[in-house]
């Protein structure tokens, strides 16, 4: 098919979708039907649908076909549905406690009155100042990790920690095993670093380790990115036995383990972290963003000491060092017990919000942890996630579909609700609206 005809067909179908001559939810012809109707080769018809899908106009669903997606307002992306000051944000978590603003004012006054203010204006060591690394080492000790200060690096938040790890330890083209549903931020890191993500299906409260072992036998897998303690978005806490089995696979195939512990503080009864079971091959990535405040861009890595120089060079290449003032505040709070108190308060807050969601979402299927800040809602078979997300957007409620979390072509129809960013009265009303909108679209 000449390029002009191929492009003309893509443009015609795109225009039909945007003008709603093809309505949202419409099932399009199969690839073979489109090829026969338009006089195309089958490979060209497949290419037409692939381009429309890349434009965010259609979605292909295994066993069901290709469907027109709900059109999003031009200001919104096709992944997370964003927020504004007028919208109730159930797409991102920024949990805070009422007393935090007062704590920050006090911390700033104490910092200003200290004798080390001038030092905060200078460049800092790439891994953090020695006493800050000692404080972080003691902090991760509360999570079951015996770390020396020399194995700790202070970074600019958990996302920077993930990017630093990938840039320092992996090469373009490396295969990284990930959950079939995983944290979208790591997908962005993989895209930027040109890594290949190999999805592993879930099996109960964790990844299917038989599938991981089979993948490692078939391909040269370099690393595993995993969230064993309070997985985002599914909320699982992987058992001790499964962690031991994962470590055994990693040792057998010489894998790097990238352990994301952003929400781990919410689960009080979790087994030991992977970094405690396999410290020689695990990079433990966490931050104070969720446990303290998202604006406090201070995170930390715990890594094998032999890897620290590579990680340090990457910190230097990206941010040089974590902003000294924020690091000083975060470390002071970790040292004086403020972080522990905040984490305890947020565990209670998250549990209360989960209980509220259980009450207000009624008979909807829910997947999650009883003390987490998010809940996963698989939708009934006849209900499309983009339809629900768009309907909720018209109700001024922002949610996320499964698309940003998915690493495999089969994207489930589900939505994730972040419970930690809005006041309780607004959350209560929003959850009732979510339940009503899903019920309205269920038949």
Instruction: Determine the pLDDT at residue 82.
Output: 43
Instruction: Determine the pLDDT at residue 283.
Output: 98
Instruction: Determine the pLDDT at residue 369.
Output: 95
Instruction: Determine the pLDDT at residue 424.
Output: 94
Same domain, 210 and 351: no
Same domain, 293 and 437: no
Q: Is residue 104 part of a domain?
A: no
For the chain, the distance separating the N- and C-terminal CA atoms, rounded to the nearest angstrom, is 42
Q: Is residue 102 part of a domain?
A: no
Same domain, 284 and 314: yes
Same domain, 263 and 299: yes
Q: What is the CATH number of the domain that holds 128?
A: 3.40.640.10
Ramachandran quadrant class, 378 (left: phi over 0; alpha: psi -120 to 50; beta: rest): beta
Q: What is the CATH number of the domain that holds 426?
A: 3.90.1150.10
Alpha-carbon torsion (83, 355, 139, 99), positive or negative: positive
Q: What is the CATH number of the domain that holds 14?
A: 1.10.10.10
Same domain, 327 and 201: yes
Separation of alpha carbons 159 and 141, rounded Å: 22
Q: Is residue 64 part of a domain?
A: yes
Shortest CA distance to 353 belongs to which of 339, 367, 376, 374? 374
Tokens of 382: 């006849």
- Residue the block writes with tokens 């492009």: 7
- Domain extent for 144: 117-336
Ramachandran quadrant class, 56 (left: phi over 0; alpha: psi -120 to 50; beta: rest): left
Separation of alpha carbons 16 and 6, rounded Å: 16
Instruction: Determine the pLDDT at residue 334.
Output: 95
Q: Is residue 74 part of a domain?
A: no
Same domain, 350 and 317: no
Q: Is residue 98 part of a domain?
A: no
Q: Is residue 107 part of a domain?
A: no
Number of separate domains in the chain = 3
Same domain, 324 and 381: no
At residue 208, the 3 state secondary structure works out as coil
- Which helix (H) or strand (E) covers residue 384, if one does? none
**What angle (nearest 5°) sits at the alpha carbon of residue 139, between those of residues 177 and 347?**
75
Tokens of 344: 């305890």
Q: Is residue 106 part of a domain?
A: no
Same domain, 241 and 348: no
Tell me the mean pLDDT per 10 residues along the chain, length 443: 70 83 86 88 87 80 77 43 64 88 90 82 92 96 95 97 98 97 96 97 94 97 98 96 98 98 95 98 95 91 98 96 92 94 95 96 92 95 87 92 92 94 94 95 83
The string of DSSP codes covering 274-339 is HHHH-TTTEEEEEESTTTT-TTS--EEEE--GGGHHHHHHHHHHHTSS--HHHHHHHHHHHHHTHH
């Amino acid at each position: 098919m000449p390029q002009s005809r191929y492009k003309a067909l893509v443009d015609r179908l795109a225009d039909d979708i945007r003008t709603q001559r093809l309505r949202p939810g419409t099932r399009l012809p199969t690839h073979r039907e489109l090829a026969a109707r338009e006089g195309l080769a089958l490979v060209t018809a497949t290419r037409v649908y692939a381009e429309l899908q890349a434009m965010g106009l259609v979605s292909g669903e295994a066993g069901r076909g290709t469907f027109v997606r709900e059109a999003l307002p031009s200001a919104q992306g096709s992944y997370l549905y964003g927020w504004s000051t007028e919208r109730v944000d159930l797409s991102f978590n920024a949990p805070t406690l009422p007393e935090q603003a007062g704590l920050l004012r006090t911390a700033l006054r104490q910092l200003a009155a200290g004798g080390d203010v001038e030092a905060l204006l200078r460049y800092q060591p790439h891994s953090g100042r020695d006493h800050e690394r000692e404080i972080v080492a003691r902090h991760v000790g509360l999570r079951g990790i015996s770390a020396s200060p020399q194995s700790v690096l202070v970074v600019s938040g958990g996302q920077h920690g993930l990017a630093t790890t990938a840039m320092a330890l992996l090469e373009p083209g490396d295969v990284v095993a990930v959950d079939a549903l995983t944290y979208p931020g790591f997908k962005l890191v993989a895209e930027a670093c040109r890594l290949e993500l190999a999805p592993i299906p879930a099996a109960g409260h964790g990844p299917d380790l038989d599938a991981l072992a089979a993948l490692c036998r078939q391909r040269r897998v370099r690393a595993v990115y995993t969230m064993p303690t309070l997985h985002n978005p599914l909320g699982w806490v992987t058992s001790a036995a499964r962690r031991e089995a994962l470590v055994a696979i990693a040792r057998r195939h010489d894998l790097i383990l990238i352990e994301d512990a952003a929400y781990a503080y919410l689960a009080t009864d979790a087994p030991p972290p992977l970094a405690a079971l396999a410290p020689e091959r695990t990079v433990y990535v966490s931050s104070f963003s969720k446990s303290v405040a998202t604006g406090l861009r201070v995170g930390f890595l715990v890594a094998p000491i032999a890897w620290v120089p590579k990680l340090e060079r990457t910190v230097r290449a990206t941010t040089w060092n974590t902003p000294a003032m924020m690091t000083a505040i975060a470390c002071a709070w970790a040292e004086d017990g403020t972080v522990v108190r905040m984490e305890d308060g947020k565990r209670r807050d998250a549990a209360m919000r989960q209980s509220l969601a259980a009450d207000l979402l009624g008979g909807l299927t829910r997947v999650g942890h009883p003390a987490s800040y998010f809940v996963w809602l698989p939708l009934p078979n006849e209900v499309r996630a983009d339809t629900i997300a768009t309907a909720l957007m018209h109700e001024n409620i922002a949610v996320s579909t499964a698309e940003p979390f998915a690493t495999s072509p089969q994207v489930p129809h589900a939505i994730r609700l972040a419970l930690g960013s809005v006041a309780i009265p607004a959350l209560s009303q929003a959850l009732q609206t979510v339940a009503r909108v899903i019920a309205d679209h269920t038949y």
